[in-house]
Each structure stands twice: as structure tokens, then as C-alpha cells.
Amino acid sequence: MYRPPPGVRTSPDMPIPERMRAWILGDPDQLTLGAKPVPMPGRAEVLVRIDAVAICATDLEVIHYGSPAKVQGGLPFNKGWTPGHEYMGTVAALGPGVDELRIGQRVTVEIHAGCGQCKRCRQGMYTACLNYGLNYGEVDKGHRANGFTSDGGFAEYAINNINTLIRVPDSMSDEEATLVVTAGTSMYGLTELGGLVAGESVVVIGPGPIGLLAAGVAKALGASPVVLVGTRDARLDIGRRLGADRVVNVRNEDPVAVVKELTGGIGADYVIECAGTQDALNMATAMVNRGAKICLAAFPHDPVTVDIPQIVRNNVYLYGIRGEGRSATHRAMAFMAEKRFDARLVHTHTFALDDLPEALRHARERIGDAIKVVVKVNHGAALAAAAE
């Protein structure tokens, strides 16, 4: 049975086991389902019972390459570490001094909690915390990036700072709640571009989960027209249902020509680039107008060659974003709770926690045109044992 230290509050209505199931990363692409002690929340932290976790493309990168995760100052392999970052769940225990939440409340998470002390955190840029990855296992500085520098959500429980938690309305399913952080990343991109996109033209390149929800967020913010560019008709159709006014399959049409035609020949005001390829990056620079802004939301695998003279000549602004910063998940949750766009359209598959390898394979190989794969956690057996 869970035995928290003084100051940590639990409830008999929500028994917690002493140990939990968790997937542990060994060598690259090697995950093992094992057991870990259920962690204890510290000051300004809560213990979250994980109910559902979505698989992100970055999870696949971390499990295979290690980067951009950083554990104990290096790559995360063979350190007893658990990946996964897009999860939601139920508050199970409260750390000392925490009164902002109550046990039994449903929450979804942001990934990053900055240290609150460095230059970037003091500017509100906690996703660019200068202590990133330097204090795994010792959180005196307060920095966490769940599933990147601290244990993540492919497990039954995880610790979260109160600043990373957003309440989930009763009307929202567990699966939909796991998508808030993805929508939050899209919202963060638009926030960094200025946020005032009502009446402005927005192009989204790459209809992956972030790109699809970026189309929904942009339309909810009043952008017009919203154009979605990709190569898969099925995904482009989902983008249309999420709010895109025009979709362009690059195999059939020239997206630069389409955007120029839609904008009276001057080009788009904003582009959110979610593909991360050289062609997509240069497409973005070619389709914007003078003084426009481009958000780089994808992680290219390798260095790319970009037409810098085109960017400089036309006074184009580039913004790189990392994750879901500036509390964008809270704004995304507000939009989703009000049904301003239907994020559920990107959820395509569901698996049990025990079947995580198969869930990862579906996400990696896009089996059944998988977009967002969600893993559900069944706590029945563990809770029964904890209650004995």
C-alpha cells in the first residue's frame, strides 16, 4: 500500500498501490513492461493516476534516437526511464501545500514545468528553460519535462507540477483530453506569430496531428482563409472538417500558386510549417507575402537548405516553437470544451497499456492511416490489490 510522507495527502476513496506498471526504455527501440515504485509528489506537485496517453511522433523519435529527451545529462537509454508525454488522468495525491486541486479531479497535462528561476522562465518561456534536462531525479530547481527529462506517461502514475495541469470537463472523454497538448502546441504556434489572426490568411503545411489541429485552431481564431497543404486526401478531408477553407494535395496542385490566387497574388500572412522537410520549408518561404510570419513547428531529421535571400529580401519572420508554451494548452482546452473544433477527428486507434508496442507500431507505420493512437490504462486489478 502507498505510504506517503507527512504533508502528502491521499484519500481512502482512491487507494494507491505501492508499485505500478511502467514501460522502461533500454536500448534504442527496446521497451520492457516492468514495475516501479509509485512516485511521491513534492511541493507544488500532484500524483496523477494516468487514465489515457496519446502517442506523439516525438515519442517515436525519443524511443529510437534518444533526442530530444535528455536524462541525467545525456541520452535516455538504459537509465530506468519511462517515455510518453501526452497523457491525462485523475488527481490521486496532493503534495505539501497544494490546494489548487482536489483528489479525484480529472486533469490533462502540459509537458513542461520550467524551473521558474532562469532567464527564459522569467520571460514566460518555460519550454525553453535553461535548466532543461540537468536535474533528472532531483527537482530542487523545479524543472520538469515529462517524457523528456523526467518519467513520462507510459505508466500507471506520474508526478506533475500544478502549473502543468488543466481541469477536464465531465463532457470530455479521456481520449479527447489526451489531445489537448497537441492542440496546445498548435495554439502556441499561433500565439508566437502574434495571435491576432482574425481575417488574416493562414496556411498549414503538413496534415499530421499538430497540423490538422492547427487548421482547427486557426479557424476558431477567425483566420480566413485557412489553407491546409498535404499529400493524403483522407487527412486533407479531416482538415476540411476541422475548419480548413481550402485543402491542397501537392501531388495534384501547386500550393504556392493556389495560395497566391486565394490572396490576390500577394501571398499568405502566416504559415505554420508542420512537415519539417526542405521542400516544405522552401514552399513556406515562397508562398508568404512581404513582412509575413512563418512558424516552424516540426523537427527536421537533418540540416536543410533554405532560401535565406528570399526571407531577407521580403522581411519574413521565422519563429521556432518547442512544445506547448505560454499556457497555450489552457486556451486550447477552452476551445475544445466549447466545441469550437472537433479534435476527436484525429483520434483513430485505441490500445491497452499492455499493448503499447503494437500501439507504437501502428503510429510509426501509420497502419490503418493512424493519426493519433491513444493508450488506455486499466487500473482495476492494481486498485483491488491496493485496497486489500
Domain range 184-320, CATH class: alpha beta
Provide the mean pLDDT of the chain: 93
Map out the domains of the chain as residue ranges.
19-111+146-168+342-387, 184-320
pLDDT tens-digit series, residues 327-375? 899 999 999 999 999 999 999 999 999 999 999 999 999 999 999 999 9
Q: How far apart are CA 131 and CA 150, in angstroms?
A: 13
Q: Residue 382 — pLDDT band, cuts 50, 70, 90?
A: low
Who wins on pLDDT, 134 or 283? Answer: 283
One-character DSSP codes across 94-127:
E-TT--SS-TT-EEEE-SEE--SSSHHHHTT-GG
* Spatial contact of 86 and 56, defined as CB atoms under 8 Å apart: yes
Beta bridge partners of 74: 71
Q: How far apart are CA 113 and CA 238, in angstroms?
A: 32
Cα of 111 vs its chain's centroid, Å: 7
Q: Residue 322 — pLDDT band, cuts 50, 70, 90?
A: confident
- Residues whose CB is less than 8 angstroms from the CB of residue 2 and which lie 6 or more positions away in sequence, other chains included: 10, 15, 16, 17, 18, 38, 93, 386
- Residues whose CB is less than 8 angstroms from the CB of residue 179 and which lie 6 or more positions away in sequence, other chains included: 54, 86, 209, 213, 336, 343, 344, 346, 347, 372
Min mean pLDDT across 108-112, 176-180, 193-197 is at 193-197
One-character DSSP codes across 285-306:
HHHEEEEEEEEE-S--SS----
* Phi, psi for residue 260 in degrees, rounded to 5: -60, -40
pLDDT for position 82:
98
pLDDT for position 147:
93
The yes-or-no verdict on residue 108 having pLDDT over 90 is yes
The yes-or-no verdict on residue 383 having pLDDT over 60 is no
pLDDT for position 72:
82
pLDDT for position 299:
80
Question: How much is the pTM?
Answer: 0.91
Q: How far apart are CA 48 and CA 352, in angstroms?
A: 18
Tell me the three state secondary structure of residue 189: helix
pLDDT tens-digit series, residues 135-171? 545 556 667 889 998 999 999 999 999 999 999 999 9
* Spatial contact of 350 and 28, defined as CB atoms under 8 Å apart: no
59-to-147, 267, 291 alpha-carbon distances in Å: 8, 35, 35
- State the fold for domain 19-111+146-168+342-387: Quinone Oxidoreductase; Chain A, domain 1 (3.90.180)
Q: How far apart are CA 353 and CA 65, in angstroms?
A: 22
pLDDT for position 136:
47
**Cell 535516455 sits at which residue?**
76
CB atoms within 10 A of CB 303: 7
